[in-house]
Amino acid sequence: MRCVLKTAIVTGGAHGIGAAICRHAARAGYRVGVLDLQQAACDALAAELGNGSVGLAADVTNEAAVHAAFVKFAAVPDLLVNNAGIVRFGSLLEQTVDAFREVVNIHLVGTYIVAREAALEMVKRGSGVIINMSSLNAVTPGPGSGGYPAAKAGIAKLTEHLAIELGPLGIRVNSVAPGFIDGGMSAPIYADPRVRASRGGAVPIRRLGTVDDVANAVMWLASEQASYVTGHQLLVDGGVAPSVLAHLPRVAQ
């Protein structure tokens, strides 16, 4: 009997955390649609993945381009991972409105556009999993990160909203919130060994996270082991979020 592959689309899939998720999904037997801005990068990773994986070049804020990418994929995805994003560093007082809007548009509006495109097809089948990429910044904003925390917090709430509306239609929706991850958009930060040592030492489990740590969390949420989990934000942060009191003095200095 011929084995039917599961299918997945990963946005921001050609690099960093997205590429790690694509690789983990392919190893788990998924045919992957690698969706990112540059066709060549998407095609290169798709060729590496095998399983009939395909490169899908699209801007997640462009509804027509997203729809065309799904048509090219030629399958209703069993799994959608909304990972595309950018960051524009700077204090809120220094951040331009255009930069703030760009971050919110790509993260929050882009996540909505792609999730909606996938869900409209998933509901016809009556099943599917959507996983949105949030951030530790959605829980505890970091200074100098511009519109990123607000955009990621919006994704966390959008995830809850989608879970409520899509649950009765057979679709689970969750988010993953990475902390200090040595990879992806954070890779330039950790190129400085002093920053690596300082931040890694401040994490309760005493190390930085990896892109594989994030991908493992995504794949667990996508699995049948998480079949009763929806509307949840899974922190992948080594315990940073609840550790604030550990960093405050207990006695007078």
As annotated, the active-site residues are: 148
Name, in order, each residue with C-beta under 8 angstroms of 239's C-beta and a sequence gap of 6 or more.
203, 204, 205
Distance, in Å, from the CA atom of 27 to the CA atom of 89, rounded to the nearest integer, reads: 35
Neighbours of 206 (CB within 10 A): 10
Print burial letters for 43-72: b (CB count within 10 Å at least 16), e (below 16).
bebbeebebebbbbbbbbbeeebbeebbee
Contact 159, 174 (CB under 8 A): yes
How far from 197 is each of 206, 212, 244, CA to CA, in Å?
9, 20, 19
Q: Give Cβ neighbours of residue 143 (< 8 Å, ≥ 6 apart).
A: 91
